[in-house]
Amino acid sequence: MTTTIILDDHGHAWDARSSALRSLLHCPLPDFDLLRYLIDNLGFVTVTSSRPGSARIRMRFETAAPASVAAAIYLLADMGLERIVVSQSDESFIDRLFSSVSQAVAYIDQRVTGPHWQATASVQSRQLPIETLASCKGPLGTLLSLWTCSDRTADLTKLKETFCPTAGVRFMALEPVDGRLTIVDLGSGFDSYSKTWQENALGMPVEEQPDYEYGRWVQTMYGEVLETRQPRLDDIDATIRRPHLNDKVRVCYQRLILPFIYGRHETTRLIGASLVKQSSRISG
């Protein structure tokens, strides 16, 4: 059976067969092409599945709303797909077939345009002097000390054992894979997202988070550390969308990103640790 899910500009999901969305938009006429109108004019995105393991994502790249795209990507990632077709509403566009969500997301990321995609996520960030942690005895200070004393090499297991058990500390390890910063390890504490995402996060590019806008911002910060090979410390106040709960959460935290040399091939691996200071739910 073919099912189509509509992702609106707030990231909310609607069954295309339901009359609720038509009623909400005051569009009761059955012969009106509602899906085409929503995609072309309101920036909505649709995901259609007619068989297990495959789906079609349809949007208009020029007008697609960031929240719609992010919610659609989260839905695709949760479906365990082997084939994804990306369609543009324009009939002159040739559909593109991909064998993984990562490939499809990379393509979509290249195609979407418009000023609303230039804005950052709902994040306020202030970079702090790295010397702030020089005499700090907390988990972030401990991690910086390990980095300084280890000649920038690291045993990931030992690093996790050192500071991950500390309450309120989140841990993430990234490394470049095929030109994209990819999650290679993820600690506990990422409660903003569902357990499904956390269990499947390894191997994903870091921007492929349920809140895709926030993920793109995170990717930018880690990318700067990869380029400069210098540590970075920030105070961050972020509002993050949680599509699985249809709400948002405000998280205030301090994050340290360090570039380590890993393995005999001396791959640069970025270790990010953040100390959560405050977290609160925001409805809607």
- pLDDT averaged over consecutive 10-residue blocks of the chain (284 residues)? 87 85 69 79 88 90 83 84 86 81 82 53 84 80 83 67 64 89 86 83 87 86 92 92 83 93 81 89 73
Same domain membership, residue 264 and residue 136: yes
Q: What pLDDT is recorded for position 115?
A: 46
Based on the domain organization, do 22 and 107 belong to the same domain? yes
Domain final residue, candidates 64, 83, 117: 117
Alpha-carbon span 11 to 145, nearest angstrom: 41
**Residues 36 and 150 both lie in one domain:** no
Is there a single domain that holds both residue 189 and residue 263? yes
Strands (E), the chain: 3-7, 13-15, 45-51, 54-59, 83-88, 96-98, 123-128, 169-177, 180-186, 232-242, 247-262, 267-282
pTM above 0.75, yes or no: no
* Residues 153, 259: Cα–Cα separation, whole Å: 9
Boundary residue ending a domain (102, 117, 132): 117
243 and 151 housed in the same domain: yes
262 and 160 in a single domain? The answer is yes
User: Do 58 and 129 belong together in one domain?
Assistant: no
Range of the domain at 136: 123-282
Does one domain contain both 168 and 194? yes
pLDDT score of 28: 58
Same domain membership, residue 174 and residue 102 = no
Contact residues for 5 (Cβ-Cβ < 8 A; gap 6+): 13, 14, 15, 16, 46, 47, 48, 75
- Which of 89, 117, 145 delimits the end of a domain? 117
User: At 176, which CATH number?
Assistant: 3.30.450.20
Q: How many domains does the chain have?
A: 2
Task: Spell out the long-range contacts of 197-201 with Cβ–Cβ below 8 A and sequence spacing 24 or more.
Answer: 197/74, 197/77, 197/78, 197/244, 200/77
Helix (H, G, I), strand (E, B) or coil at 232: strand
Question: For residue 3, which of 66, 50, 72 has the smallest C-alpha distance?
Answer: 50
CA distance 226 to 224: 5
Per-residue confidence (pLDDT) for residue 181, from 0 to 100: 92
Report CA 31 to chain centroid distance, whole Å. Answer: 37
Q: Among 115, 118, 111, which residue's Cα sits nearest to residue 58? A: 111
Residues 91 and 215 in one domain: no
Whether residues 91 and 143 fall in one domain = no
d(CA 233, CA 247): 28
159 plus 271 within the same structural domain: yes
- CA distances for 43 relative to 103, 128, 143, angstroms: 22, 38, 43
Length of the chain: 284
- Residue 59, classed as helix, strand or coil, is strand
CB-facing half-sphere around the CA of 161: CA atoms within 13 A = 5
